[in-house]
Structure 1
Amino acid sequence: MSNLKVAFAPWYTKENPYQIQLYENLTSLGVKIEPTNCSTLYLLSTIKQSKVHILHLHWLDHFFLTRTNKLKSFLKLILFISQLFILRLMNIKIIWTVHNVKNHQNKHLGLDRLGSILVSRLAHGLIVHSKSAKNEILKVFNIRQDKKIFIVPHGNYIDVYKNKISQIEARKCLNIPDSSLVLLFFGLIHPYKGVLDLTKALKQLNYEDVCLVIAGKPCNEVMAKHLAQEAEDNKKIKFISGLVPDEQVQVYMNACDVVVLPYKEFLTSGAVILAMSFGKACVAPRKGCINEVLDDTGSFLYNPDIEDGLLQALNSVLQKRDYLSNMGIHNYKLANQWNWNYVAQKTLNVYQNYLSF
């Protein structure tokens, strides 16, 4: 496949090394990758000039969703879909990795869904990261051709981030006592990730020597102020606002005993894979893709439909505190199987499915 050229669009690497890992490992398999962050207006000309065989789409909102102007978003959607249609006529294959059912900012959800449905029809193939994700997009996007949907696991983050700091050193960096039970909520902070449910459950947790570290960039100023107030009112909460630099990821991961992921909505969760890659026990809802990557041996899975399900899970963490390290080791072993070379080969198999050379 030394002649195969693929365009990645858009190219997002600031907040997540996902695309870089896929890029590097596809390159090692002989695929030429052309990253592009071109605007919607220049998508067609950019792809034509790059002379690629495949356009591999990732986050669609980049191409047509604006913050406030719905009419502008609609016009950009028409332009985007028109260009994809022309690319199909030019025999350029279109692959879309469906990372989310809807955009995280909930911008123009009607247009977002329309765009997703149209692209799901125009794309030759769709990639998802779990069986549950496949079932969900079949339903939400009303897709009838399930054979065009391919399941490729989300790659792990083992050795992607530095992982040398000890727990004692990490806690010193964050000014956390060695004796504390440390819970971690990590990553971009959106309401659907359930962080406010977590702070509420923490207040009900009858245990003094616990520290909840919330580290990540809030989605807006309202969320930032709310969490800052929560941390001021509850000394068990430590809130570090802002994007976490790559070199600091190991500090937060190694300082904690458990990573808590109380998500309400998700199609895929790289944060789960990240926690497993650092060998951490997890607290998460028993639903969707989480059921396919986590199990009861390494995690505290709770029923999200039960009002105090999260609190029950946190109480279970207290009861099994001595087993948390072994649970994390189990999760690391699970994550180890999803290396990026394997993910790249599975992705290449999808490409080859639509090519004649």
Structure 2
Amino acid sequence: MSAARTRPVVMPWPLWTGNPYLPRLMAALGRQGFAVRRRPWLGIGVAGLRRDQWIHLHWPGGPLLHRDRRRYAKRIARMRRTLATIRAKGIRVAWTAHNLLPHDDPHPDLGRELREAVLGEVEHVFLHFPGAKAILERELGYTGPTSVVPHPHYIDEHPTPPSQAEARAALGLPERGLVALVFGLLRPYKGIGAVIRGFREIAGADDRLVIAGAPRPGVDAELALAREDPRIITRLGRVPGAEVPTYFAAADASMIAYREFFTSGAAVLSLSMGCPIVGPAHNHLADLGGEPNLFACEGEVGPEGIAAALERLRSAREGVDRQAIREAARLSFGDWDDAARGIVKVLRGPRPAST
């Protein structure tokens, strides 16, 4: 038998390679000796897997979302049939809990139904932060095996950030004002409108809010609000990788004032660039260690709490050691090979006796 056929097999799904997380993790799993199957459709992928090979779920609800409730429900029914096939074939299933439920779900009750069905089939759940296990049990009732595999840092994925003065000059921003950054895909759950209103409560003439990223449906009203204030700069579209450090270096903080999240890859990226965060001390952000990593919004995430956190940031920003933030991110998050080793330790383990 060829060496290729004897290598352990894992199939990540969904195959969302637009998110930098999955391509880097797949490459690292390959370096650990796994054959990584890349299949865009779950059913087709399952047909090619055998007993004791793995499906590694990441965002299983995302591809099923639909505004039409009946179509959404039909997709869930099809997913249930696929899960039954997986069980019958003896394929093993793990899930990395990037989020508890799909973002911007038009029918949250259906999303919860699907997630509970998936959790009924998984053998192991990978978590990105220590506090996640208790949250997963409280919110979704899952009490099965888990392990913490931190979301890897992005320090080595981008050039070293320039100085703040250089970055602001490159982006045409005032040298001295407070600069806040909204970065990445612009989606409704990210609370961009609340960030804009909170910024406007405290902004002076030289302060700026930079909104940089590709808009998704549902944020037109927020972008219209941004255009009303010349201190709010919008750079719409995907930011090239080489320019990412410039945006974070120019900012005093990135804004992660999301209405809903569990793990935050955006927080990991921000700290990897040495940039503090403004957001709620909730879920993943609660594990970041407080200031200067996180300037927390008190209470509900809204304009008032965001404004208060920005004022605290204004007072403290001169003393922030951005290089120390980067070094701490490297140590606490680890790299992609560290993550792959943590995952492989489980994937190479024996099947539980009950299955």
TM-score, shorter chain, exceeding 0.5: yes
* CA drift at 1:169: 4.1
Which amino acid letter does the alignment assign opposite residue 13 of structure 1?
T
Match for residue 178 of structure 1 among 148, 162, 175: 175
Indicate conservation of the 8 Å contact 2:276/2:292, yes or no: no
Equivalent in the alignment of 2:119: 120
1:201 aligns with 2:198: yes
- Write the letter of the residue equivalent to 1:93: R
Distance 1:345 1:298 in 2: 27
> 2:285 — aligned with what?
290
Is residue 212 of structure 1 aligned with residue 209 of structure 2?
yes
Cα 1:331–1:78 change in 2 (3 A) is same
Equivalent residue for 1:25? 28
- Give a deviation string over 1:20-54, Cα, whole Å, max 9, x none: 1211211111112112211x553432435xx8711
How far apart are 1:354 and its partner, in Å? 4.0
1:334 equivalenced with 2:333 (yes/no):
no
Long gaps (5+) in structure 1: none
Question: Partner letter of residue 99 of structure 2?
Answer: N
Q: Deviations over 1:264-291 (max 9, x none)?
A: 3210100100000001122221222111
| Distance in 1 between residues matched to 2:126 and 2:74, nearest whole Å | 27
Task: Tell me what 1:133 maps to.
Answer: 132
Using the aligned pairs only, state the percent identity.
26
C-alpha contact (below 8 Å) 2:95/2:125 kept by paired residues: yes
Q: What's the Cα RMSD here?
A: 2.4
Provide the residue aligned with 2:235 in structure 1.
240
2:9·2:54 contact (CA, 8 Å) conserved in 1? yes
| Aligned counterparts of 1:167 and 1:206: Cα–Cα separation in 2 | 19
Q: Partner residue of 2:311? A: 315
Could you tell me which residue of structure 2 aligns to residue 107 of structure 1? 106
Question: 2:131 is paired with a residue of what secondary structure?
Answer: helix
Distance across 2 between alignment mates of 1:63 and 1:196: 26
Paired residue for 1:47?
49
Shift of 1:136: 2.2
User: What amino acid maps onto 1:189 in structure 2?
Assistant: L
Structure 2: tracts of 5 or more residues without a match:
none
Distance in 1 separating the partners of 2:246 and 2:222:
21
Q: Give the whole-Å Cα distance in 2 for the aligned partners of 1:306 and 1:41.
A: 40
* Partner of residue 95, structure 1: 94
Q: Any conservation in 1 of the 2:161–2:246 contact (CA below 8 Å)?
A: no
- Per the normalisation by structure 1, the TM-score is 0.88
**Offset of residue 18 of structure 1:** 0.5
Structure 1 position 353 matched with structure 2 position 312: no
Aligned residue for 1:64? 64
Q: Is the 8 A contact 2:183 2:212 kept in 1?
A: yes
Partners of 1:164 and 1:311 lie apart in 2 by: 27
Q: Counterpart of 2:59 in structure 1: which amino acid?
A: W
In the alignment of these two chains, the number of paired residues is 345
Q: Displacement of 1:148 after TM fit?
A: 1.6
- 1:181 is displaced (CA, Å) by 2.5
Q: Distance in 2 between matches of 1:68 and 1:173?
A: 41
Aligned partner of residue 37 in structure 2, secondary structure: strand
Match for 2:249 among 246, 254, 272?
254
Q: Which piece of structure 1 moves more, 268-277 or 342-351?
A: 342-351
CA contact (8 A) 1:43 1:83 kept: no
Q: Which moved more, 1:19-28 or 1:306-315?
A: 306-315
Aligned counterparts of 1:134 and 1:148: Cα–Cα separation in 2: 10
* Alpha-carbon distance, 1:101 to partner: 1.8
Residue aligned with 1:214, SS: strand
Name the stretch that deviates more: 134-143 or 90-99. 134-143
Maintained 8 Å contact 2:153/2:329: yes
Q: Verify: 1:81 aligned to 2:85, yes or no.
A: no
Q: Over residues 89-114 of structure 1, what are the superposed CA-to-partner deviations in whole Å (9 max), with x where a residue is unaligned?
A: 22211111121122123133222111
